[in-house]
């Protein structure tokens, strides 16, 4: 069992893909990882290193073939599909490289989407959502459609959306990959502020400068954690 | 409350997604619109047509059996001699037949004979061609005519062979514009007849066409006189002059209406009457019409008609449904990424299924609603333009609407399930 302070506790996680006829492919070969509350972790690694698989398992989009994954003290590694969906909705806030806003919805409605799947009354949370939009500086664009926003603005909507269920952690997959360096910096600063406010952040990136903002960077290689760098001590 | 709120927001979301592709959604709906519209319109027109036919038959009285004299076919007549011109052609039901029917067939309550002679009727300078019907007082009891003013023929008239007559309202209007018919007499052929009553025919003139073979049954230009009067004044041999030739016919009775005690008596009496008449007629110079049977046939025809129309409409709805399914499958592929995002944000498989199912049902029910409106408007328009009677039944509207909803669910289920089965990781990666 993981200690109280660990948001993420991974033990001996393997992921094996069965390919017809040929030998099975191991994407993860036994990974151990602990992420504590309030910490900021960056995951790096070349393509094929198992980084994406790691992200899928951390995000509860996929289940490990072997090993255990406790998310907020709950073992999600063997959960059935519906419970995994619920875990994703409640415990994880996703930020994607390509924003992934829903085109037919307004800014406000996009922020509300995760609430919808928790069966919550949107009217009761209306003020909360407006507050989040204000937090990311889009309070004046609540009824805009994603295609009326710039890339940076869209990503800020995604940040607001990731926060709406007050998740245990924010899982960001290359959040600045599609942005120019200035707007990218704005989004990163926003993530810094969230972390400073106590949110646990897990960020996947190629970019050394992005990773440098984290407390701790792990480098993946051939399905295992190759090395780990502590940039600065996590908050106590 | 939360659940219903969630449902209404799912519906709103569905409408929003459909509005993204307005033309596509409209075209998809069109299939359902036509389907629902055709179900309602076809059933309304069919119902109207059969209603008219049934009404015409009912007017003959379902407790009645009609026997009508028929001119035998040409060939049969020529067996008697090479040339019939100027000869006395004798056919039809006789007075004796009438009394035999009354005496032998069980369950007969009345036998009402009718002699129908076409003659011009005159009053002052007005002349109107009409049917002079010689009949008995009980004619009004078998459902022929309803008295408006004065009286109908009575037994004394029959006994005395009085020159009195009862005319229909239509004829009264034409013969006596501005005068009271009950104070006057009319002239038929060489004799004058005192008008003693005015009756209203049960059948309306415009329904004559629908009734088809029922011609000879009273129309609006009728004069009723006592049967005995008809026999003495017109004689048994009727002459008909036409260009260059004349025909003489001896027809005793043109029609006999046999009123039976009840419906079961009608059923059993039909073959008995045929057997009886067949025995005394060596040529086929009469026909037996059983309105009850005609009614049953009309109902049977209507049922078949409805099945045929229903299947045509069902096929069009099916085609509409396939159209919806096709579009929804395309939509699922197009929105794979969105499905992945929703799954990542906490949507369960059944949430995705519901979302797409709701979209399909919104399409089909929306189409259904428009279809109902168009379907109700079409028969109304048709009856306005063509005089055709149409009846929109509530059940046809419910049926059509229900089918459209069911089509939405049935044809939406597969695309919705396909959407829900997508792996969230693959869906997210989908370009």
| CATH code (residue A212) | 3.40.50.300
Higher pLDDT, B100 or B247: B100
- How far off is chain B from A233, nearest CA to CA, in Å? 31
pLDDT grade for B373, boundaries at 50, 70 and 90: very high
Residue B73 has pLDDT above 80, yes or no: no
Q: Out of A86, A104, A116, whose CB is closest to B9?
A: A116
- How far off is chain A from B327, nearest CA to CA, in Å? 18
Model pLDDT, residue B38: 87
DSSP assignment of B105-142: STTEEEEEEEEEEEEEEEETTEEEEEEEEEE-GGGGGG
Residue A29 in domain: no
Range of the domain at A200: 39-49+82-230
Q: Which residue of chain B has the CA closest to A83? A: B348
Please provide the average confidence, as pLDDT, over all residues in chain A: 91
Q: Out of A62, A121, A165, whose CB is closest to B425?
A: A62
pLDDT grade for B79, boundaries at 50, 70 and 90: low
pLDDT grade for B87, boundaries at 50, 70 and 90: low
Above pLDDT 90, what percent of chain A? 81
Least confident stretch, A71-75, A111-115, A158-162, B169-173: B169-173
Q: What average pLDDT does the segment A65-88 reach?
A: 93
Residue A225 has pLDDT above 90, yes or no: yes
Q: Out of A104, A121, A122, whose CB is closest to B17?
A: A104
Contact A117 B351 (CB under 8 A): yes
Residue B216 has pLDDT above 60, yes or no: no
Q: What average pLDDT does the segment A67-81 reach?
A: 92
Residue A80 has pLDDT above 90, yes or no: yes
pLDDT grade for B210, boundaries at 50, 70 and 90: very low
> Which residues of chain B from 17 to 36 reach within 8 Å of chain A, CB to CB?
17, 19-20
Model pLDDT, residue B205: 39
Q: Which residue of chain B has the CA closest to A116? A: B6
Q: Domain segments of chain B: what residues?
A: 2-56+298-429, 71-284
Q: Out of A62, A81, A94, whose CB is closest to B345?
A: A94
Residue B77 has pLDDT above 70, yes or no: no
Higher pLDDT, B75 or A131: A131
pLDDT grade for B82, boundaries at 50, 70 and 90: very low
Q: Which residue of chain A has the CA closest to B423? A: A61
Q: If you average pLDDT over each of A185-189, B38-42, B313-317, which comes out highest?
A: A185-189
Name B223's bridge partners: B132, B167
B252 DSSP assignment: S
Model pLDDT, residue A1: 64
DSSP assignment of B349-411: HHHHHHHHHHHHHHHHHHHHHHHHHHHHHHHHHHHHHH-------HHHHHHHHHHHHHHHHHH
Model pLDDT, residue A166: 94
Above pLDDT 70, what percent of chain B? 88
Q: Give Dmax (Cα) for chain A.
A: 57
Task: List the structure tokens of A84.
Answer: 């995994």
Q: What average pLDDT does the segment B352-363 reach?
A: 91
Q: Is the C-alpha dihedral spanning A175, A177, A179, A183 positive or negative?
A: positive
Nearest one of A86, A66, A61, A56 to A74, comparing CA atoms:
A86
Q: Which residue of chain B has the CA closest to A59? A: B344
Q: What average pLDDT does the segment B10-37 reach?
A: 87
| Separation CA A175–CA A155 (nearest Å) | 8
Residue A49 has pLDDT above 70, yes or no: yes
Q: What average pLDDT does the segment A132-156 reach?
A: 94
Q: pLDDT tens digits for A198-224?
A: 999 999 998 999 999 999 999 999 999
Please provide the average confidence, as pLDDT, over all residues in chain B: 82
DSSP assignment of A11-66: EEEEEEE--SSS--EEEEEEEEEEEETT-EEEEE--TTSSHHHHHHHHTTSS--SE
Q: What average pLDDT does the segment B243-263 reach?
A: 79
Model pLDDT, residue B368: 92
B115–chain A Cβ distance below 8 A for any pair: no
Contact A81 B425 (CB under 8 A): no
Which chain A residues contact residue B20 at CB under 8 A? Answer: 103-104
Model pLDDT, residue B81: 47
The residue of A80, A84, A89, A98 whose CB has the most chain B CBs within 10 angstroms, and thus the best one to mutate to test that interface, is A89
Residue B212 has pLDDT above 50, yes or no: no
Q: What average pLDDT does the segment B207-211 reach?
A: 38
Higher pLDDT, B64 or B77: B64
Residue B2 has pLDDT above 60, yes or no: no
Above pLDDT 90, what percent of chain B? 19
Residue A17 in domain: no
Model pLDDT, residue B292: 83
Residue B352 has pLDDT above 50, yes or no: yes
How many domains is chain A built from? 1
């Amino acid at each position: 069992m993981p200690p109280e302070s660990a948001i993420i506790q991974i033990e001996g996680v393997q992921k094996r893909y069965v390919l017809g006829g040929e030998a099975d492919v191991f994407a993860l070969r036994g990974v151990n990882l602990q992420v504590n509350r309030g910490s900021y972790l960056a995951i790096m690694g070349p393509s094929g290193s198992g980084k994406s698989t790691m992200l899928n398992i951390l995000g509860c989009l996929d289940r490990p073939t072997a090993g255990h994954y406790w998310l907020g003290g709950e073992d999600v590694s063997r959960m059935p599909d519906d419970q995994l969906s619920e875990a994703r909705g409640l415990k994880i806030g996703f930020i994607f490289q390509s924003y992934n806003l829903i085109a037919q919805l307004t800014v406000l409605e996009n922020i509300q989407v995760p609430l919808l799947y928790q069966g919550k009354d949107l009217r009761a949370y209306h003020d909360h959502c407006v507050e989040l939009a204000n937090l990311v500086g889009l309070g004046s664009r609540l009824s805009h459609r994603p295609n009326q926003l710039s890339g940076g603005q869209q990503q800020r909507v995604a940040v607001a959306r990731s926060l709406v269920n007050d998740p245990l952690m924010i899982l960001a997959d290359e959040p600045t990959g599609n942005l120019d360096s200035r707007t990218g910096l704005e989004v990163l600063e926003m993530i810094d502020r969230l972390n400073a406010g106590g949110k646990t952040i897990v960020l996947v990136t190629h970019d050394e400068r992005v990773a440098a903002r984290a407390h701790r960077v792990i480098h993946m290689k051939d399905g295992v954690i190759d090395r780990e760098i502590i940039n600065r001590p996590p908050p106590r | 409350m939360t659940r219903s709120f969630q449902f209404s927001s799912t519906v709103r979301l569905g409408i929003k997604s459909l509005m993204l592709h307005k033309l596509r959604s409209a075209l998809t709906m069109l299939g359902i619109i036509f389907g629902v519209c055709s179900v309602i319109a076809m059933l309304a027109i069919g119902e109207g047509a059969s209603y008219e036919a049934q009404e015409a038959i009912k007017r003959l009285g379902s407790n009645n059996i009609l026997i009508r004299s028929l001119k035998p076919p040409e060939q049969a007549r020529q067996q008697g001699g090479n040339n019939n011109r100027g000869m006395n052609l004798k056919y039809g039901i006789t007075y004796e037949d009438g009394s035999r029917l009354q005496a032998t067939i069980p369950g007969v309550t009345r036998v009402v004979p009718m002699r129908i002679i076409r003659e011009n009727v005159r009053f002052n300078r007005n002349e109107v061609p009409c049917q002079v019907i010689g009949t008995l007082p009980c004619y009004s009891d078998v459902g022929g005519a309803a008295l408006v003013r004065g009286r109908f023929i009575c037994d004394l008239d029959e006994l005395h062979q009085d020159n009195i007559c009862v005319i229909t309202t239509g004829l009264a209007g034409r013969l006596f514009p501005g005068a009271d018919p009950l104070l006057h007499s009319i002239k038929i052929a060489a004799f004058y007849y005192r008008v003693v009553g005015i009756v209203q025919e049960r059948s309306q003139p415009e329904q004559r066409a629908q009734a088809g073979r029922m011609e000879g049954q009273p129309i609006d230009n009728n004069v009723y006189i006592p049967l005995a009067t008809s026999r003495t004044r017109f004689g048994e041999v009727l002459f008909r002059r036409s260009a260059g030739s004349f025909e003489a016919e001896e027809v005793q009775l043109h029609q006999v209406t046999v009123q039976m005690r009840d419906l079961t008596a009608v059923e059993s009496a039909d073959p008995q009457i045929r057997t009886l008449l067949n025995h005394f007629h060596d040529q086929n110079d009469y026909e037996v019409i059983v309105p009850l049977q005609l009614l049953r046939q009309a109902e049977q025809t209507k049922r078949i008609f409805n099945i045929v129309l229903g299947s045509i409409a069902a096929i069009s709805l099916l085609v509409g449904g396939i159209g919806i399914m096709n579009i929804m499958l395309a939509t699922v592929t197009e929105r794979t990424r969105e499905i992945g995002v929703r799954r990542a944000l906490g949507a369960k498989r059944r949430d995705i299924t519901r979302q797409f199912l709701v979209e399909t049902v919104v399409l089909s029910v929306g189409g259904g609603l428009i279809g109902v409106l168009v379907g109700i408007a079409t028969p109304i328009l048709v009856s306005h333009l063509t005089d055709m009677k149409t009846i929109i039944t509530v059940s046809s509207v419910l049926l059509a609407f229900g089918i459209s909803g069911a089509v939405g669910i049935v044809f939406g289920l597969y695309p919705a399930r396909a959407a829900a089965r997508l792996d969230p990781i693959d869906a997210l990666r989908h370009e």
